[in-house]
Amino acid sequence: MTPEEFIHTETQPTDGQAGWIQSVRWNASEHRLDLLDQRLLPEEIRYLPLHTSRDVWEAIRHLAVRGAPAIGISAAFGVYLGIRDAGGDAAAVLEETRKQAEYLATSRPTAVNLFWALDRMKARADELASRQDLTPAGMKQALLEEALGIQAEDEETCRLIGEHALELFQDGMGVLTHCNAGGLATARYGTALAPIYLAQERGISLRVFADETRPVLQGARLTAFELQQAGVDVTLICDNMAGMVMSKGWVQAVIVGTDRVAANGDVANKIGTYSVAVLAKAHGIPVYVACPLSTIDLTTPTGDEIPIEERPDSEITEGFGKRTAPVGVKVFNPAFDVTPNEYVSAIITEKGIVYPPYNVNLAKLFDI
């Protein structure tokens, strides 16, 4: 799928005047999903009009939408788009929901929020199908509401993560982040960027260093963009500058998002996070990981069991259309790495801040 395959629904200049930009929008009047095409940022704000679960699958696979929570939210809407024209009774709608969820689960492997959201849609369909009072149309409407609910909850969750994380920051601190765990990657606020937005709202001044995040440049194209739009003090650096910036004493904390936290507190996040964490430890700088509970996967014992996506060589050899490596060179392009738990100072969730030992304290989050 290339951006050209989609009709433009909205284009705005990215001149710092656009305000808050929502990455996932349910378009109720057109009955479709509008997804901000994040591949075009920071040059252009354009929404892709998506009508089918296949459209959503393509958008996830090809990074039009990315970031663990935003992937999960989009997939939930994808399930709805996949079942809305299904014929038959409630059992048939349930069967189709399961089929669509199975299909959307193949879009990307690492972010567990994808599977969490799909499981939630399936569980809701199960519950609805067992009721006698619902028509298939009513069931479909309830599944759309479930997807809208997942999105609304994520906004609230991110705000709570920001509130808890803010306890860890003081006025004047330098904060380094990697990849994009901001509003673009979630329903709003982000995970790692949520405390930065809340700090700004409350007059606490933080100076953010955004790693550019090779090879797809989520840090440069997305984090620097959204923080700049919001008027946050952000300085863009290449990934290989993080050590130097730390050695100068400009960074007092690292905060990143994550795609999956294993039961022992190992965290998978965008490739390069592990290097940043090792550098931070060498400089005595704490590393904070911010995520919703839906990113914590207690069924995955350690980081070794987290599936790590490998992406096309072309992201490295001819990223953004320019050949930067010899034709035929061997390439290794993992999209994520695992940071072992000993490098993680704290994990911040909507339920509060979790400290080591993670194999004990993460499970407590799920105690009812």
Could you list the residues that contact ligand MRU (CB under 6 A)?
66-69, 111, 179, 181, 185-186, 190-191, 218, 257-259, 269-270, 335
Tell me whether residue 68 is annotated as binding.
yes
Kindly state the smallest distance separating residue 129's Cβ from ligand MRU, in Å: 32
Tell me whether residue 264 is annotated as binding.
no
- Do 64 and 40 contact (CB within 8 A), yes or no? no
Give the span between the Cα atoms of 26 and 6, in whole angstroms. Answer: 17
Cβ proximity to ligand MRU, 190 vs 303, nearer residue = 190
Q: List the one residue out of 250, 240, 281 whose CA is nearest residue 174.
A: 250
* Helix, strand or coil, per DSSP, at residue 38: helix
Kindly state the smallest distance separating residue 153's Cβ from ligand MRU, in Å: 14
Tell me whether residue 108 is annotated as binding.
yes
Structural tokens at position 27? 């378009």
- Which amino acid appears at position 74 of this protein? S
Tell me whether residue 90 is annotated as binding.
no
Tell me whether residue 269 is annotated as binding.
yes
Cβ proximity to ligand MRU, 96 vs 266, nearer residue = 266
Q: List the one residue out of 354, 224, 259 whose CA is nearest residue 69.
A: 259
The label of the residue with tokens 């007059």 reads: 203
DSSP 203: T
21: Cβ–Cβ under 8 A, 6 or more apart, which residues?
36, 45, 183, 184, 226, 229
The residue number with the shortest CB distance to ligand MRU is 257
Kindly state the smallest distance separating residue 233's Cβ from ligand MRU, in Å: 21
Tell me whether residue 67 is annotated as binding.
yes
Cβ proximity to ligand MRU, 39 vs 140, nearer residue = 39
Kindly state the smallest distance separating residue 142's Cβ from ligand MRU, in Å: 27
Q: List the one residue out of 286, 256, 261, 250 whose CA is nearest residue 273.
A: 256
* Helix, strand or coil, per DSSP, at residue 154: helix
- Alpha-carbon torsion (189, 345, 109, 227), positive or negative: positive
Tell me whether residue 32 is annotated as binding.
no
Cβ proximity to ligand MRU, 295 vs 317, nearer residue = 295
For residue 288, the cross-strand partners are: 255, 346
Which secondary structure element, helix H or strand E, spans residue 42, and what is its range?
none
Kindly state the smallest distance separating residue 285's Cβ from ligand MRU, in Å: 18
Cβ proximity to ligand MRU, 143 vs 224, nearer residue = 224
239: Cβ–Cβ under 8 A, 6 or more apart, which residues?
178, 211, 212, 213, 214, 219, 272, 275
Catalogue the active-site residues.
259
Output the known binding site.
Answer: 66-68, 108, 218, 269-270
Output the known binding site for substrate.
Answer: 66-68, 108, 218, 269-270
